Chain A
Amino acid sequence: MSAHRGTGHTIRGTLAAFDSPDAMLEALRRLRQEGFTGLEVYSPYAVEEVDELLGRKSRALPLIIVAAGVVGAVGGFLLQYWGMVLSYPLNIGGRPLNSWPAFSTTTFELAALAILLVGFFAFCKFCRLPRLYDPIFDAPGFEHASQDRFLIWIAEREGRDDSDLLQRLLPHGEGVKIDEVPA
């Protein structure tokens, strides 16, 4: 397998494949106990507990979306206020120029639009998408992660040979397949 393709990055480590999410979670638990940190799970659907085991949380996206909603709503209202009160006031039967109830629906819609667009682009940013090539795609059997298998990527630890430890932690039992990924 070639070491340099696409992005020019190389990754070294072990990819373990499991038939069921439970077996994968069990292995992940053991790996965590042994102090492995460069772990990532690839699965055909979101498996609960994985984030907990990997100790990862994400609060940024909801906050960004709430902020986008607030900015969209305030900006949307100010746009209408600017147009109807400041820039082009029309006196229709002496009604108030700042007719905020009539502005409320557009305010809501523009807040929704801001949430949709900002949410999508923030999601892409956090997922590092679009990223059409990643070295992990070259790992043998990686295509099963989007179908029916649960993969754990164990990045090689600097200056350590963990092959014996991994042999012990991830026995070549039923439903487990281990590949060294030199790429």
Chain B
Amino acid sequence: MGASPETRQELNRVTHMDVIGPGVTALSVTVHVSDLVLERRTPLWWWAGFGLSLGLLGLFVVALGWLFIRGVGIWGIDWPVAWGFAIGNYVWWVGMASGGTLISALFFLTRSEWRSATSRIAETMTVFCVACAGVMPVIHLGRWWYFYWLFPYPNTMALWPQFRSPLHWDFVAILVYVAGSMLFWYVGLLPDLATLRDRARRRWQRVLYGLLALGWQGSSRHWRQFKILYGLFAALMAPLVCSIHSIVGLDFAGGLTPGWHETQFPPYFVFGAALSGFAVVLMLVIPLRRALDLTGFITLRHIDVLARLMLTASLLLSYCYLIEVFMPFYRGEEHEITVVMSELGGYYAPWYWAKIILNGVVPQLLWIRPLRLNRPLLFLVALCVVVGMWIERYVIVVGGLHRNYTESSWFVFMPTFWDWATLAGSVGLFLTGFFLALRFIPMVSMFELRELLHKKRAEGGR
């Protein structure tokens, strides 16, 4: 199976894997995690990764600059395929963002022990994914500088936005999700920022973390309010993340385009979001637990749980893929059958089958336990899923539009260099933000691990 010695040893040693490594104490967590930010010399891989990210971000700036000068004509979109990469990218990014919210909010509500060590990485990922997602619809507008027209603000023409439109629901949903994920992230960071403030030795660090921590004291009054607020935020974020993906699904379901007009789209999009979200979390956690030496806190148990979640989400999504093909034939609607047949065997067939293989077939490897614990392989599976999910969004957006009801509006979408540059550049935006966070923010929730250690000790008497 190619399992590393560490894996085999772990497999033999424990049947029920520990959520925290042996020898980890409250102090060792605090010292290790805060020293990563405060004391550790910036490692070479960070500079390399950050440099690459900045390069991609530069490409993004150039692509957007050219877009603002020349307009959306630089992309491959045209009538009738007026939604191209920008919308596909948007759905892709917002879907990946969900992984962080699901782990930090949903599994907080279920009191899952494994959540604590991975929640910070996942939430940080969410914040920067949402930022990338938020850019896409705005630049897609064409006259992007009028985007504030979506707000119901008093204007001289006494016009209102159309509140009945799923596209407007989506605008509101993104706005609330951005605010929610950032506040949830920041509130969860407060106690850890105070720890950094108290451990900092350099003046700029004391000032920076002192300001960011807002004067958090860790008094019983603070913790009392904190627990209430965090619990309520978690209880709100869990339905919010489902709502935003449902509304993204409704963007499509609300249109009459064949292949889009599907009642199953809201849950379909939630499942897809969960799949890509867990995949990105795995892609970040697997290298980071080595690079930041977090193997004591992020154990194989975490890897195993995340892999199982990815498999579950893949099964749910595969069911939706089946229904997607079944329904047009069941309804017998001619144009919808045309779209499905064109997806299965037409111009976009390679993309369609790639999505089936990458999202539906490859994750089935994770039924096998040694493969779940094989980190390099798992990383590759997660990468397949992330790529596959982008392809899925591309097929949904373009597939429906390129075979509309009348043959006169049939069209093949060809992405241009600037389409690809926008996609690659948005990855740069994400990575730049994430690398900066790696350098300045504790990547493990220290106070939650302290509490978890205390609970474990009280339970197991070790």
| A interface residues, Cβ below 8 angstroms from B | 21, 40-47, 50-51, 54, 56, 58, 61-62, 65, 79-80, 83-84, 87-88, 99, 102-103, 105-106, 108-110, 112-113, 115-117, 119-120, 123-124, 126-134, 136-137, 142-148
Contacts and interface: CB of A to CB of B under 8 A. Distances in A.
A79 B172 CA distance: 13
B218 A105 contact: no
Contact of B160 (A88, A123, A124): A88
Interface residues of B, number: 56
A50 to B, nearest CB: 5
Given A110-B172, A119-B232, A58 B224 contact: yes
Nearest to B168: A106
A147 to B, nearest CB: 5
Given A103-B163, A112-B180, A145-B218, A44 B447 contact: yes
Contacts of A136: 217
Interface of B is mostly: helix
Contacts, number: 169
Contacts of A44: 26, 30, 191, 195, 218, 447, 450
Contacts of A84: 160, 163-164
A182 to B, nearest CB: 19
Given A21-B454, A80-B163, A102-B163, A119 B175 contact: no
Contacts of A143: 198-199
B411 interface: no
B17 interface: no
Interface of B: 26-27, 30, 152, 158-161, 163-164, 168-169, 172-173, 175-176, 179-180, 183, 187, 191, 194-195, 197-199, 210-211, 214-229, 232-233, 236, 240, 243, 247, 250, 447-448, 450-451, 454
A176 B103 CA distance: 38
A43 B220 contact: yes
A2 B17 CA distance: 52
Q: Which of A43, A87, A144 has the most CB of B within 10 A?
A: A43
B227 A46 contact: yes
Contact of A123 (B30, B229, B250): B229
